[in-house]
């Protein structure tokens, strides 16, 4: 694996850093406080990113992106992640980024034109409806939402919750069970493209959460006799669980890329503050306890970055990398939380005051250990693979 940056990537990295510092971070003072607000700010920042030629680094040039591979994306995503608004500005934020990847891989040409192209160009937002109130999400076997084929239509019924970005989204990708659906599907699940204005789809409520930085918030949604035609099926009927892996593997890794940037920003604040804050006759940076916290953060972030790069390299080489992306998800998520927590501790009262972004970073990133699979679920999966490998050896 080559760890070097091409001159082109290095130039993109520096321009992304400058864009985040000069354009995006100053816009944080205008961050919305409600899930149904802030869309104008997002559009404004995306126009700026397009002008700076930094828009959609993960998308192919056919859809207006930069056409970078996953390893190179990881470099830019980390820079973008230094601000909560950065991934939105570059149009590489969840859940849209994961949906773009899956649509580009699986959707039909007609679906790509109707759903992928406007999403890739930032004209609309989307959401992904898989998680359910009974726990389906971390454990997909608990999926209860069903789709039945009747009179030439698919009829979807079920309830989903914690659907990120649902408020204001133009459409959702819904996962529903379709076994015995009358279309030759095996007992599995199917993904459906459902327009937000479909009369059988509705947003039940906005779910209040600790984190506030999601455009469209997190919502509970309902599918009630929601009719869609065959052209709404994403890929092949009955293959939904397999397609979910196409989305979730890279998506959990891109979460790691973005949020590592947030940890880096938190450490930057802690180091800057420790160099000037005096305590007991010397600056905090001269106290060994603070040096140890900064050192631990730097060491763990370096290891996290290498795990991300390795998993991205595997994806770029056609590997599924399920084992590596799961390990990265656990390690990076917990590293990010530890780094931000240490930064808050070093900065003391400034760390918990809303005057600085550390309190916001602390609040917004706690959920990372839960999103895209809790750490415990990924540990279980990793452990099972290790036991299988050792048994087969």
Name every residue whose Cβ is closer than 8 Å to that of residue 320 and which is 6 or more positions away in sequence: 245, 249
Name every residue whose Cβ is closer than 8 Å to that of residue 243 and which is 6 or more positions away in sequence: 102, 106, 191, 234, 235
The Cα 44–Cα 86 span in angstroms is 12
Task: Band the pLDDT of 124: cuts 50, 70, 90.
Answer: very high
Would you give the end-to-end CA distance of the chain in angstroms?
26
pLDDT digits 0-9 by tens, 2-23: 899 999 999 999 999 999 999 9
pLDDT, mean over the chain: 94
The Cα 17–Cα 108 span in angstroms is 36
Contact between 260 and 81 under an 8 Å Cβ cutoff? The reply is: yes
List Cα–Cα distances, 157 to 82, 85, 145, 239, 246, in angstroms: 40, 35, 6, 19, 25
Q: Taking the domains of the chain in order of start, what are their residue ranges?
A: 7-93, 126-237, 242-392
Task: Band the pLDDT of 327: cuts 50, 70, 90.
Answer: very high
pLDDT digits 0-9 by tens, 357-385: 999 999 999 999 999 889 999 999 999 99
From 1.20.140.10, 1.10.3760.10, 3.10.180.10, 1.10.3720.10, which CATH number describes the 242-392 domain? 1.20.140.10
Q: What dotted CATH number matches 126-237?
A: 2.40.110.10
The region of weakest confidence among 27-41, 220-234, 277-291, 294-308 is 27-41
pLDDT digits 0-9 by tens, 164-192: 999 999 999 999 999 754 454 445 899 99
Q: What dotted CATH number matches 7-93?
A: 1.10.540.10
The region of weakest confidence among 59-63, 137-141, 307-311 is 137-141
Query: Mind spelling out the 3-state secondary structure of 27-44?
Result: HHHHCCCCCCCCHHHHHH
Closest CA to 22 of 83, 76, 102, 100: 83
What average pLDDT does the segment 74-79 reach?
98
Tell me which of 390 and 114 has the higher pLDDT: 114
Residue-by-residue DSSP string for 188-212: SEEEEEEETT-TTEEEEEE---S--
| Omega within 30 of 0 (cis) for the link into 271 | no
Burial class from Cβ neighbours inside 10 Å (0-12, 13-18, 19+) for residue 58 reads buried
What average pLDDT does the segment 222-229 reach?
98
Cβ neighbours around 348 below 10 Å, total: 13
Closest CA to 259 of 16, 2, 80, 101: 80
pLDDT of 180 reads 54
């Amino acid at each position: 694996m080559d760890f070097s940056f091409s001159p082109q990537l290095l130039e993109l990295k520096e321009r992304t850093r400058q864009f985040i510092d000069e354009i995006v971070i100053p816009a944080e003072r205008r961050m919305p406080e409600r899930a149904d607000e802030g869309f104008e700010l997002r559009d404004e920042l995306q126009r700026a990113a397009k002008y700076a030629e930094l828009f959609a680094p993960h998308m192919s040039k056919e859809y207006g992106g930069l056409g970078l591979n996953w390893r190179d994306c990881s470099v830019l995503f980390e820079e973008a992640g230094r601000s909560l608004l950065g991934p939105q500005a570059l149009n590489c934020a969840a859940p849209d980024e994961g949906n773009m990847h899956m649509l580009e891989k699986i959707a039909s040409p007609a679906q790509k034109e109707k759903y992928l192209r406007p999403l890739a160009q930032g004209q609309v937002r989307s959401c992904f409806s898989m998680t359910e109130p009974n726990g389906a999400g971390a454990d997909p076997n608990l999926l209860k939402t069903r789709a039945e084929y009747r009179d030439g239509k698919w009829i979807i019924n079920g309830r989903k919750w914690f659907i990120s970005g649902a408020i204001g989204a133009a459409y959702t990708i819904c996962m529903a069970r379709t076994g015995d659906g009358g279309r030759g599907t095996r007992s599995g699940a199917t993904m459906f493209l459902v327009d937000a204005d479909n009369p059988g789809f509705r947003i039940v409520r906005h779910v209040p959460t600790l984190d506030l930085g999601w455009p469209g918030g997190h919502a509970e949604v309902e599918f009630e006799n929601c009719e869609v035609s065959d052209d709404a099926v994403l890929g092949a009927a009955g293959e939904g669980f397999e397609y979910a892996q196409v989305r979730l593997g890279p998506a959990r890794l891109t979460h790691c890329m973005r949020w590592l940037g947030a940890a880096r920003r938190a450490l930057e604040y802690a180091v800057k503050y420790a160099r000037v804050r005096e305590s007991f006759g010397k600056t905090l940076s001269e106290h060994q306890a603070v040096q140890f916290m900064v050192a631990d953060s730097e060491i763990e972030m370096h290891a996290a970055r290498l795990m991300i790069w390795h998993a991205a390299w595997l994806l770029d080489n056609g590997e599924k990398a399920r084992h590596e992306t799961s390990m990265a998800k656990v390690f990076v998520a917990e590293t990010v939380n530890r780094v931000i927590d240490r930064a808050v501790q070093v900065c003391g009262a400034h760390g918990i005051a809303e005057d600085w972004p550390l309190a916001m970073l602390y609040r917004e990133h706690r959920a990372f250990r839960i999103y895209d699979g809790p750490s415990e679920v990924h540990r279980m999966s990793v452990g099972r693979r290790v036991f299988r490998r050792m048994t087969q050896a």
